[in-house]
């Protein structure tokens, strides 16, 4: 029977084909499983109702849920805003092709996780919707970075405005200064003033001068802070610069009874940097240390300046045995305008300026402090 044997052959062929399909299917499933198990992205599939039927290992990492916890739950429940997730699913159905967009999900611990998701509708051969698959990449860090950049941009803008204001304020302040200077001379020459009135007027003039000086101090510091130009560099000896800086602060140190200990590394400490800017850093650190020691009172005030040569970089530390900085304030001291000094004594711009300068020159500044024991500020600068 010819037909019989041919149909038998047919059957064999089909069976064989089926077997190979099965192997193929097995391979594909294994392949897909492998992807689902190993991908770091969140990959999920839902049924037509939007209930989760598959959830990758990466998804467990990204959102913090295990597969058992989420299977059968609606996918929109994982979105940060379930209501706005609905239209996404709908437009995905209408689109007919992959839909790529940023979706905020919510981590098990409540944090927002931003994902770049590509969603695809799944249909069967009859064209019926049977569900959705999606591959979502966690872009939270990237998003944060972007926000930080915007923040930095905004800060730079505020800086520019502040600089503009400071510049403009300088002019009227200068006029007030000159006008009061002239008034002082007129008062000096005036006849018929009672000694009391003269004294009173002189005090007023002195006050105007002091206060315009204060304005000038603030505007200058503010303008230093926002100055954008790249600092020039030259070769110099840090030890020499430190000695000069201490010389500058002689008036503050006089009568304070503070002992200054120099603990310098062997020989000159040569660096290629900007001496003027570094001087500003040292002046501020030293002035802060002197203030802290005086505030503590007593007569064993001591400031130690130590330098360490680490070949590619040098460390300069200023250690005082002053009042110290309370733990709860330690996070604030680099903030613009943060100061605990009385009005007129501090602007709260010293440390932010130092930080800015070191950022520009390649280096950093950090500190350790204990209330009642003292504070050590350390400046690190690269040699070249």
Partner 1 sequence: MSDQQHIRVLLVDDEENLLEYLSKRLLKKGFAVKATFSGEQAVEVAQHEPYDVAVVDLKMPGIDGVETQKRLRQIQPFLQCIVLTGHGSVESALESGQQEAFEYLLKPVDYDKLLVAISEAYKRKVDLQTAKFREEVEKVQMAGMGPRGIRKAIRELEKIYGIE
Ligand X SMILES: Nc1ncnc2c1ncn2[C@@H]1O[C@H](COP(=O)(O)OP(=O)(O)OP(=O)(O)O)[C@@H](O)[C@H]1O
211 binds partner 1 (CB under 8 A): no
55, 70 Cβ separation under 8 angstroms: yes
Footprint of Mg ion on 110-169 (CB under 5 A): none
Residue 66 host element (H or E) = none
Nearer to ligand X, 346 or 362 (CB): 346
Nearer to partner 1, 73 or 227 (CB): 227
Binding mask 262-301 for Mg ion (x = CB under 5 A): ----------------------x---x-------------
Which tokens go with 375? Answer: 């504070």
Piece of 63-71, 72-80, 166-174, 194-202 that binds partner 1 (CB under 8 A): 166-174
Footprint of partner 1 on 219-278 (CB under 8 A): 219-220, 223-224, 227, 229, 232
Query: Which residue do the tokens 């392949």 mark?
Result: 31
Cβ 197 to partner 1 shortest distance, Å: 22
d(CA 290, CA 301): 9
d(CA 113, CA 101): 14
Binding-site residue total for Mg ion (CB under 5 A)?
A: 3
Cβ 291 to Mg ion shortest distance, Å: 7
Nearer to partner 1, 4 or 171 (CB): 171
d(CA 326, CA 330): 6
256, 273 Cβ separation under 8 angstroms: no
158 binds partner 1 (CB under 8 A): no
Nearer to ligand X, 238 or 349 (CB): 349
d(CA 338, CA 330): 11
Among Mg ion, partner 1, ligand X, none, what binds residue 341 when CB lies within 5 to 8 Å by partner kind?
ligand X
CB count, 10 Å around CB of 217? 14
Among partner 1, ligand X, Mg ion, none, what binds residue 339 when CB lies within 5 to 8 Å by partner kind?
ligand X
Piece of 6-14, 212-220, 307-315, 368-376 that binds partner 1 (CB under 8 A): 212-220
Which tokens go with 228? Answer: 């954008």
Q: 3-state class of 111 per DSSP?
A: coil
223, 167 Cβ separation under 8 angstroms: yes
With CB atoms as reference, the residue minimizing the distance to ligand X is 350
284 binds ligand X (CB under 6 A): yes
135, 155 Cβ separation under 8 angstroms: no
Cβ 157 to partner 1 shortest distance, Å: 17
274, 359 Cβ separation under 8 angstroms: no
CB count, 10 Å around CB of 176? 15
118, 134 Cβ separation under 8 angstroms: yes
328, 347 Cβ separation under 8 angstroms: no
**Contact residues for partner 1, defined by CB under 8 A:** 163, 166-167, 170-171, 173-175, 177-179, 181-182, 185, 212, 216, 219-220, 223-224, 227, 229, 232
Which residues contribute to the site for ligand X (CB under 6 A)?
A: 284, 288-289, 292, 320, 322-325, 333, 338-341, 346-351, 375
């Amino acid at each position: 029977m010819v037909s019989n044997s041919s149909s038998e052959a047919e059957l064999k062929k089909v069976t064989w084909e089926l077997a190979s399909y099965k192997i193929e299917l097995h391979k594909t499933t294994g392949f897909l499983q492998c992807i689902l198990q190993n991908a770091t992205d969140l990959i999920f599939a839902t049924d037509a109702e939007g209930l989760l039927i598959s959830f990758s290992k990466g998804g467990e990492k990204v959102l913090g849920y295990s597969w058992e916890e989420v299977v059968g739950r609606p996918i929109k429940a994982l979105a940060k805003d379930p209501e706005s997730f609905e239209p996404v699913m709908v437009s995905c159905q209408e689109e007919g092709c992959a839909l790529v967009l940023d979706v905020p999900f919510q981590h098990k611990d409540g944090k927002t996780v931003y994902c770049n998701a590509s969603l695809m509708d799944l249909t069967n051969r009859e064209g019926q919707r049977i569900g959705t698959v999606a591959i979502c990449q966690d872009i939270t860090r990237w998003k944060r970075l972007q926000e930080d950049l915007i923040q930095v941009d905004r800060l730079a803008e505020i800086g520019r405005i502040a600089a503009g204001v400071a510049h403009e304020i300088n002019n009227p302040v200068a006029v007030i200064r000159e006008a009061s200077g002239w008034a002082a001379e007129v008062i000096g020459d005036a006849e018929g003033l009672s000694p009391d009135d003269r004294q009173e007027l002189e005090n007023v003039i002195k006050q105007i001068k002091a206060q315009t000086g204060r304005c000038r101090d603030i505007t200058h510091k503010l303008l230093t802070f926002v100055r954008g130009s790249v600092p020039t560099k030259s070769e110099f000896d840090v030890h020499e610069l430190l000695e000069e800086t201490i010389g500058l602060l002689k008036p503050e140190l006089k009568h304070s009874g503070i002992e200054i200990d120099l603990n310098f590394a062997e020989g000159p400490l040569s660096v290629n940097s900007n001496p003027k800017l570094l001087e500003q850093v040292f002046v501020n650190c030293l002035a802060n240390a002197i203030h802290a020691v005086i505030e503590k009172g007593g007569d064993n005030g001591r400031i130690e300046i130590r330098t360490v040569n680490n070949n590619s970089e040098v460390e300069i530390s200023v250690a005082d045995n002053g009042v110290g900085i309370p733990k709860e304030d330690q996070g604030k001291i680099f903030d613009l305008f943060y100061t605990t000094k009385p009005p007129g004594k501090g602007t709260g711009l010293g440390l932010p300026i130092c930080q800015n300068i070191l950022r520009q020159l390649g280096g950093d500044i950090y500190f350790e402090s204990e209330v009642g024991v003292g504070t050590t500020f350390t400046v690190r600068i690269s040699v070249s």
